Structure 1
């Protein structure tokens, strides 16, 4: 005899619609076995990286500024079904993202966060379903909120003791764009070039601290004062020891006393006990560390003034390599992310490289090659150069 519970279950099953097949990533179940739901915290100290790298190290500071400023100087273009738009809502938004910043300032902040933290977050403010303003958020205050299947389900932003949660809206729009660099061991956060260059930054900072210590203790070589008094007085008295330390600090230490000869009396003998800077070769180690830092950021050492083969031709080639191998890929990554976040069907955001001075030589060479190609018609040449196939006449009445 069926029970009341079984009857209710049968009736409920009859009313439930058949499950709809949903397509999803084949790796979702695998990730779900590895990642628990809830906030995933940044696995490193962003403040320490920013303080010891960007704020204390001149090489890392200059590398981050060079990359961020160069990439932010590239304007964005909007295409709609293959046609470049002269005026578009996305163009106006990217040129003036909020009342306090220009588009260049916003993207410089985004690129700087990417180089420092490996992550950058952009918040979109919508009104009536349209994105009206964009803001860059500090990456150390943002935490990825993992959903039950292991993928990011939202973001939590904490500042001033207050938490703001960002979740996907009813129409499927995520109000936060997360840009991140590749990290081989983390599913949610990117790996910053500054972290990869951490050891080289420490070596360079230590070398600078060494130089500072030499300036502060210019005339005092590291060593020991050995007392060779009479046998009945083998050791200095407490008063003699304190007076000797005081005289050394007041008379022989500091920049004002650099080069002053040391006068020893009373059976005192000086015995050096440390290597000289030349023996330690710390200057070359400093330059080597600087080159390693520049390598992590993709900045040629010639652009930073690091001693080496800095001829004019090498500088020009280094500048071209910097734009081709570092700046353009970064700008293309940001444009692709913005395009997938803001654009609809048939629309795309791309970096406009036509005004980059460093690439003018390549553009001129390409123009010459196309114009000298006798096997191409004028229409084909115009298309190859990115122009419409037929010129548009300004006074065309038709």
Structure 2
């Protein structure tokens, strides 16, 4: 901590940008590009169910009856559903650098609830033994310390041992500041409903009070959006001349378009996925192709960090692991998904790696009799009841 003005501004995230504006999570979310990026990433994360697997006999098996699954997929806390929980965690990470959830355990150490915490309510400290202690202000007004084993910290890029880098502060602060300044200027530009470069010409000489009265009357009758396109009536030889948009005003529009792309770049979101369609995407066509690329290059780093955090904090035994089901985002293109399933069960006369019942389980359908085996064009050596070729 620092007592100088620059240090305090950095501490409370109120340091001004080069454009003279202050970027905070609240002001940043008023920019449509920031709102769209955060909403897209958080919504995609919340739409993927969390799967649990168990390692046994050198293989990995899907678990669907564990007591932790409702916490991760239905109701982590009494205050919210799982979708709202994951959206809050992801938006906290993008805006503040980290998402936090307190693990409320019973006397046996079994998690009973995952309580989401606002990042500003959590302070962290590195202890002498290398562990991290968290000091949390809870909703009931109590302030108490929490051991690192009872706190889920979903980190962003750039973790320094205690906190991670906030996207809006480190990656897009100047771009967001410029966007805020451009928004303010654009609002003032269109506030009066007419070009601010309208010139009223009068051949004679007016007294100062008459000039002021004319200006006020003109703004009163023709200013604002409600007065737009009203017929303009001038008397006494007064003429109105509207100037063309200047190069500075045209450059303002280009600046606003560029800030959308620059903000999307900081969040790792392709601009076309937040409505910037002036430039053609190089990611290929089709919802499945774009969704898979978005998963690989934008969501994957966050998902891996979250999976590892959940595994090391929730499971004392190493044979369990959790994963977000990436296939949930591929269901928008049924043709591509159907082709994948067909190939997975051996539709091209090649060896299959999924059984028919596994595919039906992914699609929430009831299992079929004698549909648990894997297809193979030749009998599998040492086939078991789970690996023998399908009939």
1:262 Cα offset (Å): 7.3
* Count, aligned residues: 339
Change (3 A) 1:369 1:136: closer
Aligned to 1:321: 293
| Alignment check: 8 A CA contact 2:150 2:313 kept | no
- 1:1-398 equivalences under 5 Å are 43-45=11-13, 49-54=24-29, 56-81=30-55, 82-95=60-73, 96-128=75-107, 129-148=109-128, 151=130, 153-158=132-137, 162-168=141-147, 174-183=149-158, 186-195=160-169, 196-222=171-197, 237-259=207-229, 260-261=231-232, 263=234, 276=246, 280-309=250-279, 314=285, 316=287, 317-345=289-317, 346-357=319-330, 361=336, 364-365=339-340, 368=343, 371=346, 390-391=384-385
Q: What per-residue deviation string (whole Å, max 9, x for no partner) do you get for residues 355-390 of structure 1?
A: 43258737834853883787x767x776xx997764
Aligned to 1:23: none
CA distance in structure 1 between the aligned counterparts of 2:139 and 2:13, rounded to whole angstroms:
18
SS at match of 1:174: helix
CA distance in structure 1 between the aligned counterparts of 2:156 and 2:338, rounded to whole angstroms:
30
1:270 Cα offset (Å): 7.6
1:203 Cα offset (Å): 2.9
Q: Which runs of 5+ in 1 are unaligned?
A: 1-40, 231-235, 394-398
CA distance in structure 2 between the aligned counterparts of 1:262 and 1:314, rounded to whole angstroms:
54
1:294 Cα offset (Å): 1.6
Q: Which runs of 5+ in 2 are unaligned?
A: 1-7, 15-21, 360-372, 375-382
Q: What per-residue deviation string (whole Å, max 9, x for no partner) do you get for residues 17-73 of structure 1?
A: xxxxxxxxxxxxxxxxxxxxxxxx98342895221112x112211211111111111
CA distance in structure 1 between the aligned counterparts of 2:301 and 2:266, rounded to whole angstroms:
15
Query: Normalised by the size of structure 1, how large is the TM-score?
Result: 0.71
CA distance in structure 2 between the aligned counterparts of 1:101 and 1:224, rounded to whole angstroms:
57
1:340 Cα offset (Å): 0.8
Change (3 A) 1:295 1:264: farther
SS at match of 2:326: coil
CA distance in structure 2 between the aligned counterparts of 1:161 and 1:127, rounded to whole angstroms:
19
| Alignment check: 8 A CA contact 2:261 2:271 kept | yes
Q: Which has the higher contact order (CA 8 A, sep 6+)?
A: 1
CA distance in structure 1 between the aligned counterparts of 2:196 and 2:354, rounded to whole angstroms:
72
CA distance in structure 1 between the aligned counterparts of 2:324 and 2:338, rounded to whole angstroms:
16
Change (3 A) 1:106 1:255: closer
| Alignment check: 8 A CA contact 2:41 2:90 kept | yes
What RMSD over aligned residues (CA atoms) do the two structures have, in Å?
4.0
| Alignment check: 8 A CA contact 1:74 1:353 kept | yes
Q: What per-residue deviation string (whole Å, max 9, x for no partner) do you get for residues 238-268 of structure 1?
A: 53343233223223422244355474858x8
Query: Normalised by the size of structure 2, how large is the TM-score?
Result: 0.72
| Alignment check: 8 A CA contact 1:118 1:191 kept | yes
SS at match of 2:158: coil
Q: What per-residue deviation string (whole Å, max 9, x for no partner) do you get for residues 94-146 of structure 1?
A: 23322232222211211111111111111011112211111110001211123
